[in-house]
Amino acid sequence: MTDTQATVRFHVSARIFHWLTAVLVFAALIVGFALANSLADYATLLMMHKIIGALILVIVIARVINRLRHHPPAWPATVGPWERRVVVVSERLMYATLVAQPLVGWAMLGAAGVPVVIGPLRLPAIAPVDAGLYAVLRNGHSVLAYMLVVVIAAHVSGVLLHTLTLRDGMLNRMTFRIRRHEVAERNDPLTAQRR
Amino acid sequence: MTKRQRLTPSWAGAPLDRRGVLLGIAAVGGFLAVDLGAVLYARGPVGSSDRLSPQTFMDAFRRVHGSHPGFRRNHAKGVALTGYFDSNGNGMQLSRATVFRSGRTSVMGRFSLPGGNPAVPDELATPRGLGLAFGYPGAGQWRTAMLNTPVFSDNSVQGFYDRLLASKPVADTGKPDPDAMAQFLSAHPETARAMATNKQHPPTSGFGNSPYYGLNAFYLVNAAGESTPVRWSLESMAPPGAPVAPGDGPNWLFDNAIRDVRSGPLRWRLLMTVGEPQDDVRDATIAWPPERRVVDVGTVVLDSIDSERAGNARDINFDPMVLPDGIEPSEDPLLSARSAVYAASFRRRSGETAAPSAVQVNAVAL
């Protein structure tokens, strides 16, 4: 049962986008939190954070377009109706937060009247210069960051419980074939012979 | 056996066993420990108790100067100015920044006194601050926060922090504890040396005829990509003025500055002092030798003064790391730290409602 379900994977482009986003968002969050807590490394971390944030914005927009073009595979039978509703809402929340977070970061630089310098790029401001607006956006940037931490923690916990406790192959839907072939070949001499 | 089978739990048709449940809980627990641990370590407080952070500085400013919502945590008392910079084009040999091309750039400025008390009484000996933002809020912006002392008191973040704590006024005298300051100075010879250097440059009669110094070193990068270490300063074009007796009221220095601007624009030469390889760009407590080459790059003019209010210099964070293409930070560790602490102060105060500034331009008689 596990094996037949595990072969139903997300489109390869969706998997690439997923892991790319996962690595970049984790990096942006950790660098962002460290930035808010550092003195000597503040300038370097800020530069890194803005570059990673800009990359995430571009990648997540491309990912949303890709998501509309490739429908995800059917759920395993272990995902009940109410859980589906939770997952659908949290998926949308995650996409919305991932698009909003870099935009809020970009806008708050404009509100502070600071030039938007992303590595070698200088981008236009997307918000009017206004200190009160800056305070709202800056605090919003933190709220969204903590929201992302919570949503990601829930997302990974859910996948781990499905994969390890219910053994429904949930994680395999998002992993790449290469490793599974090796595993399959090592574990199943028949597969190896057939090739 | 039969009893046990009947009780076998399941989830959406998938049977649950003890091994799977424990494995799942262990994996989730392990992931959350690493994930949230990383967040708490990066953001603090885990492992942060021994490190200085922007929050440590916010707390220290509050402890030493009290809580003043809506005001800068340091240099709280100030007045807003506007004017322009007339570049003579000489700076282009050193930097490709647009601001150094011949021509005029708008400037926003702010005179200030250090400390977190927005109503601190003016004193002649208190260091004076001048924040400038060239080309605000444009893309080629350049911000600088200067003092009227040739060198800075500290060459490390820890030194700045320790000096801040040692300067806490004692309740009965209103002055810092002399023992605490003496102890600090014996532990920080660089600050004692900096104070001796600054003592050789007694303050002028007011804000308007003071020199101001950018303190930290920066690199100017020209069109050919050549990088030159510099320190910049403003040399007043007004006469130094007779030593003045302290005027009336707690705002006499600011009141005089308001009258000065009303009677005519304040002018300074903007000077770039070029460092030699033996000049340490990381230590703002050491003066560079007077024989260093100086390039006069133009004139800063401040011709309008206003009380702090929304939209003027009140809302500018004079972050020394806001630099145009053609000016780069040096390796001085204080630059990044100043940027971080200024950002923490700006974030907090921009979300708070401030009482009106102690310096009210309209309240000063003509």
Q: Is B102 found in the same domain as B36? A: no
Q: Is B261 found in the same domain as B193? A: yes
**Per the CB < 8 Å rule, is A166 touching B20?**
yes
Q: Is B137 found in the same domain as B37? A: no
Q: Per mean pLDDT, which range of A72-76, B254-258, B299-303 is the poorest?
A: A72-76
The answer, for A119 touching chain B at a CB cutoff of 8 Å, is no
What is the tens place of the pLDDT at every residue in B41-97?
999 888 887 889 999 999 999 999 999 999 999 999 999 999 999 999 999 999 999
Architecture per CATH, A2-194: Up-down Bundle (1.20)
Alpha-carbon distances, residue B34 vs B27, B30, B349 (angstroms): 11, 6, 34
More confident residue, A177 or A85: A85
**B145 close to B114: Cβ distance less than 8 angstroms:** no
The answer, for A159 touching chain B at a CB cutoff of 8 Å, is no
Q: For A18, what's the count of Cα atoms within 13 Å in the CB-facing half-sphere?
A: 18
**Domain that includes residue B39, residue range:** 20-51
Q: Is B150 found in the same domain as B32? A: no
What is the tens place of the pLDDT at every residue in B259-289?
999 999 999 999 999 999 999 999 999 999 9
Closest CB from A36, A115, A164 relative to B27: A164
What is the tens place of the pLDDT at every residue in B141-172?
999 999 999 999 999 999 999 999 999 888 88
Tell me how far apart the alpha carbons of residues B151 and B158 are, in angstroms, rounded to a whole number.
Answer: 17
Does any domain span residue B285? yes
What is the structure's pLDDT at B6?
A: 55
Alpha-carbon distances, residue A128 vs A57, A113, A135, B141, B243 (angstroms): 21, 8, 13, 16, 45
Nearest CA of chain B to the CA of A133: how many Å? 9
Q: Is B74 found in the same domain as B24? A: no
Q: Per mean pLDDT, which range of A42-51, A163-172, B246-255, B346-355 is the poorest?
A: B246-255
Does any domain span residue B115? yes
Q: Is B70 found in the same domain as B42? A: no
What is the structure's pLDDT at A98?
A: 97
Residue of A92, A157, A86 lying closest to B31 (CA atoms)? A157
Q: Write out chain A residues lying below 8 Å of B43, CB-based.
A: 33-34, 36-37
Give the catalytic positions of B in this structure.
75
Q: Write out chain A residues lying below 8 Å of B135, CB-based.
A: none
Q: Is B355 found in the same domain as B221? A: yes
Q: Is B283 found in the same domain as B156? A: yes
**B166 close to B181: Cβ distance less than 8 angstroms:** yes
- Beta-carbon contacts of B275 under 8 Å, excluding residues fewer than 6 positions away, are B217, B228, B229, B230, B231, B281, B288, B292
> Tell me, what CATH number does B283's domain have?
2.40.180.10
Alpha-carbon distances, residue A86 vs A154, B57, B125, B253, B287 (angstroms): 11, 42, 65, 63, 64
What is the structure's pLDDT at B1?
A: 43
pLDDT band at B195 (very low <50, low <70, confident <90, very high): very high
Q: Is B42 found in the same domain as B123? A: no
Quote ipTM for the complex. Answer: 0.92
The model carries a pTM of 0.91
Number of domains into which chain B is organized: 2
Domain ranges of chain A: 2-194
